[in-house]
Amino acid sequence: MRRSSLLVVVTLAIVALAGCTALGAQEADPPAGDDSLAADPTVTDPTTDVQGWERGYWHNESLDVDPEDGLTEAELQALVSRAMARVEVVRDVEFDEPVDVELINRSEYSAGGGGDGSTTAAQRAAAAERAAEFEALFVVGETTDAGEAEEATREASVQGYYDTQQDRIVVVSNSDSPRLAELTLGHELVHAYQFRGPLRQTRIPQNISQDGIVALRALIEGDANFAERRYEARCGEEWDCLRRSDWADESSSDSDGGDGGSGGGGGGDAAAGSAGPNVGIYLQSYFPYAAGESMVAGVYERGGWDGVAELYQEPPLSSEQVIHWDSDPEEAESVSVPDRSSDDWERVTAGEPAGRTLGEASLATMFAYTLYDDREGSLVERDAFLRQDGPGPRLTYDLAPSAGWGGDRLYAYRNGDESGYVWRIEWDSSAEAREFASAYRDLLEYHGAGQRDDGRWVVPDGEFADAFSVRVSGETVTIVNGPDRSALSEVHPENSRVTAADVSPAQGAINSTACGTSPPSIASSCS
């Protein structure tokens, strides 16, 4: 998926990896391109398909395309064919089949959600878990509908996506007439290559966590962003490229001279001034693009495309493994918390295992968001989260309070209209557990909390008005949230202690099936 870096953006369409489709037979004779669109129609075409040439167009050909009055079908096909040839060059791949591309405007995209508004019990439970996650990260409070906040951010931001189930690219334009930004197209073409090729051999644990899905998306989006950056580097001197700025009525601006997402941290700065979409949701969802690109770029620097190919054979399975890709972090621990709530409180369960694993990336987002919300001050230095110069993404999620994460589990609870949660986080050392707990207490104070005589914390007003308990036991931090102090012991009694059974190595049994037949619960924004 491509996202604008100057608009607050999130994931586009979440598509199950099981939607990967089978490769069809290669065309024996690709149709020739329309010579009337080529600036130099005398360039010799090869007799067979070669890298850097697709369906009548070389990667370095110029096209006679007028962006002001939209694209004709012939112009679109020429741009797609040339972009495929360019992706072949920058990503060192070969497309065996054409890729269908559809152009739609933003209103068509927004109207495409469909559905009659009805939800199942499982969907409502999943929404409650997601809302608890956003609340625990101090991103969306109880007074705001978390689902609507996420959807609003999504609809305002999407530039394009690859539909794995229909094996096609959809590019979203702000204009009613067909418009196309070439870097967006290039990014999505990398996804077409991924899901037709290497991801079919990627083996995924049956019990992969939400954070594991984020890590897989970091590989997918990081590879596409890295290839897009290499694509963009050739625009100007080597290649003529159709940029978003070529369309007079497109409101999205280019970033770092490009069309958006690969610009990395540009989204952070611009997001801070956005009145609609949620910046915190943006920061969390941008992780696969920024940290993923840094990981892929680093692996490429060491081992070339062969090294990147190895990532698809042994993908990262936690955001920690993406952030610290060069230090070979240990496998995440599988964390669980026994349900000891009172009869009035019920643990929300969307599926098995219950709860959500947020991961190091989400913890980093929780602290980094203080740079962008509407409160005075922040809990991290700007330079710790934003790279001011140099190539690559500008956002880095390697922050001191979240480093040393070893595993976590968040459980949502309900009591009628009231809500709470229990969040247990394992750390690599007791010192790192204490460091996080101290930073988290600072975060509570940042949101107006005061500590009461019993050691519990209370945020008296605002969207995060609640009571909190923060306990440290060795390498474990347990946070309990409820509407008031008396509710904390109802959600999770104070006398509960961490036992050996509550923390165990992650069950990383690898599913022998490939990506194309992996469980439908595993999802990726293949776009």
pLDDT in tens, 191-247: 999 999 999 989 998 889 999 999 999 999 999 999 999 999 999 889 999 987 665
Could you write out the three-class secondary structure of 182-233?
HHHHHHHHHHHHHHHCHHHHCCCECCCCHHHHHHHHHHHHHHHHHHHHHHHH
Who contacts 133 (Cβ-Cβ below 8 Å, separation ≥6)? 356, 358, 362, 410
At residue 412, the pLDDT reads: 97
Who contacts 512 (Cβ-Cβ below 8 Å, separation ≥6)? 203
Task: Say yes or no to pLDDT of 320 above 60.
Answer: yes
The sign one gets for the Cα dihedral 175, 179, 181, 185 is positive
Asked if 128 contacts 413 with a C-beta cutoff of 8 angstroms, the reply is: no
CA–CA dist 414, 113 (Å, integer): 28
Share of the chain above pLDDT 70, in %: 78
Asked if 249 contacts 318 with a C-beta cutoff of 8 angstroms, the reply is: no
Per domain, the residue ranges of the chain are 2-325, 329-505
What is the DSSP code (8-state) at residue 497?
Answer: -
Q: Which residues of 128-142 are buried (b: 16+ CB within 10 A; e: fewer)?
A: bbbbbbbbbbbbbbb
- Average pLDDT, integer, range 40-65: 85
Environment class of residue 37 by beta-carbon count within 10 Å: exposed (0-12), middle (13-18) or buried (19+)?
buried
CA–CA dist 287, 211 (Å, integer): 11
- Average pLDDT, integer, range 394-411: 97
- Average pLDDT, integer, range 257-270: 33
Q: Please, which pLDDT band fits residue 330 given cuts at 50, 70 and 90?
A: confident
Task: Say yes or no to pLDDT of 391 above 60.
Answer: yes
Work out whether strand 158-163 and strand 100-105 pair parallel, antiparallel, or are unpaired: unpaired
Bigger pLDDT: 131 vs 151 = 131
Q: How does pLDDT run across 113-137, given as a tens digit for each residue?
A: 655 567 788 888 999 999 999 999 9
Angle at 370 between CA 420 and CA 458, to 5 degrees: 35
